[in-house]
Amino acid sequence: MANQEDNLLKNIISHSKEYGFIFPSSEIYDGLSAVYDYGQNGAELKNNIKEYWWKFMTMMHDNIVGIDSAIFMHPTIWKASGHVDAFNDPMVDNKDSKKRYRADVLAEDAIAKIQDKIDKEVEKAAKRFENFDKAMFLATNGRVVEYQKKIDEANARLKDSMNSSNMEALKQLIIDLEVADPISGTKNWTDVRQFNLMFSTEMGSVAEDTNKIYLRPETAQGIFVNFLNVQKTSRLKIPFGIAQIGKAFRNEIVARQFIFRMREFEQMEMQFFVKPGEEMKWYEFWKEKRMRWHQTLGLGSENYRFHDHLNLAHYANAACDIQFNFPMGFKELEGIHSRTDFDLKSHEKFSGKKLQYFDAEDNQNYIPYVVETSVGLDRMFLSILSKAYTEEKLPARPAGGEDGSDRVVLRIPPALAPHKVAILPLMKKDGLAEKAEAIFNDLKFDFRCFYEDKDNIGKRYRRMDAIGTPYCITIDHQTLQDDTVTIRDRDTMKQERTSISNLKSKIRDSVSIATLLKQI
């Protein structure tokens, strides 16, 4: 990671802690790796993201309903889904540093380094020659052709070894790519072993193998096993969807980059059941819809892109990610997968129960095909924070006449901000606090409000900027005379005087999730 981006992530982590968004879990016991707690402002932001997703799925589509299935499920479910046998990552340790890595990631990083060398050669040549022809250069420059050959060979070996679970071949690839441990600097690797990512525990009071159950690694299976319950009780006809938000657990080998890769996280998933043969139409439909949902947040369309999966999972006939430009670069934010009839078919086989849909129009029974959209709530949170976090150098006399000190402002989309309005009496005395409390008590039914009467007003504005509150309402002596207040905009810092009776109509639209939903 480049230094600037590294610093941005570090600043976001410390800001999140300082302002009550995210705390390391079990901090007084020195923390628990890759587990985090959401603080008072983080919990609000998280709830607002959930609301934006849930309302989009279940209120904006009359053929999608939401459920809330249990985390614990019958262990055979994970056999049927393929997680017991195949939800593995290849793990390798460096014998000198004793650090553990994902072997496929080590190989991928080494391949990316060779690609960097090609990019540098191209950059150098482009500077040197006028009328530079990149395609020609890539095809004819000896060194570049050699690098490209190395990349193609390594990619093919990586794909083969992963597909055939050949861990010896994967280790040989790491050796051939001359991968060294970034900590010890040595190439002293253990054998590569498969590591299952599911957490397990025992149900009941006797610890026997038969009581072994798993903490779900995805919420999707809770939807599949309830497919017929929901279809029958809702009387929905295909195509229809079932949405769910909930916790998922994965014992990630390398969990880093803050809340990007956690061991306990939340997913927002929707399984859309369609007629076999129509899945590609719906796959394209959901790709477009999900991209619009993201882009409507206003974090910059250029920060999103599709990334097609080249190595499809055994159950998929098409799959892509929506990647986001995180501080660490473009990485997966959401997955969109055409899962065929794999899951329902497999649950039919393992449970012995029919999971078919009777299509009255065609007068036939079939197992529906499924298009899935799956986005990580915590990754959504990080995507918003990383674009919202802004360090600003202010001119000596910025708009509104505030002190010219620098500020950190979270430009969170107002509809998702933890608090919508801060109510700030200029001072406690002269009846200003009482007037402010009356305004708070009126607005609190419509907006999440924050009341504060300590410190000078400039400091209070800065604190509200730091947690992303879109509006600050200041109550001063004039308020007592004419029932007007100043309303300050977080982003422009401009203040305008307005009557108290106008406040709700002024604020409502810009902080409402409904406004966002109408723009999708």
- Interface residues with ligand GAP (CB under 6 A) are 218, 220, 250, 252, 261-262, 265, 267, 269, 332-335, 372, 374-376, 378-379
* Cα 75 to Cα 203: distance, rounded to the nearest angstrom: 10
In the three-class reduction of DSSP (H, G, I as helix; E, B as strand; rest coil), residue 86 is classed as helix
Q: Read out DSSP for 336-390?
A: EEEEETHHHHHHHHHH-----EEETTTTEEEPPEEEEEEEEHHHHHHHHHHHHEE
| Smallest gap from residue 73 Cβ to ligand GAP (A) | 14
| Smallest gap from residue 187 Cβ to ligand GAP (A) | 28
Q: Which is nearer to ligand GAP, 333 or 417 (CB)?
A: 333
Q: Which is nearer to ligand GAP, 291 or 466 (CB)?
A: 291
| Chain residue whose CB lies nearest ligand GAP | 376
| Smallest gap from residue 84 Cβ to ligand GAP (A) | 16
With CA atoms as reference, report the closest residue to 295 among 284, 281, 306.
306
Q: Which is nearer to ligand GAP, 311 or 478 (CB)?
A: 311
| Smallest gap from residue 108 Cβ to ligand GAP (A) | 16
| Smallest gap from residue 304 Cβ to ligand GAP (A) | 13
Enumerate the β-bridge partners of residue 90: 194
| Smallest gap from residue 83 Cβ to ligand GAP (A) | 10
> What DSSP character marks residue 189?
B
Q: Which is nearer to ligand GAP, 260 or 471 (CB)?
A: 260
Q: Which is nearer to ligand GAP, 10 or 247 (CB)?
A: 247
Positions of E strands within 402-482 = 407-410, 421-425, 449-451, 471-475
Cβ–Cβ < 8 Å for 296, 519: yes
> What DSSP character marks residue 261?
S
Report helix angle 377-388 to 3-18, nearest 10. Answer: 110
| Smallest gap from residue 220 Cβ to ligand GAP (A) | 4
Q: Which is nearer to ligand GAP, 108 or 437 (CB)?
A: 108
Q: Which is nearer to ligand GAP, 93 or 266 (CB)?
A: 266
- CB within 8 A of 136, min separation 6: which ones? none
Cβ–Cβ < 8 Å for 320, 307: yes
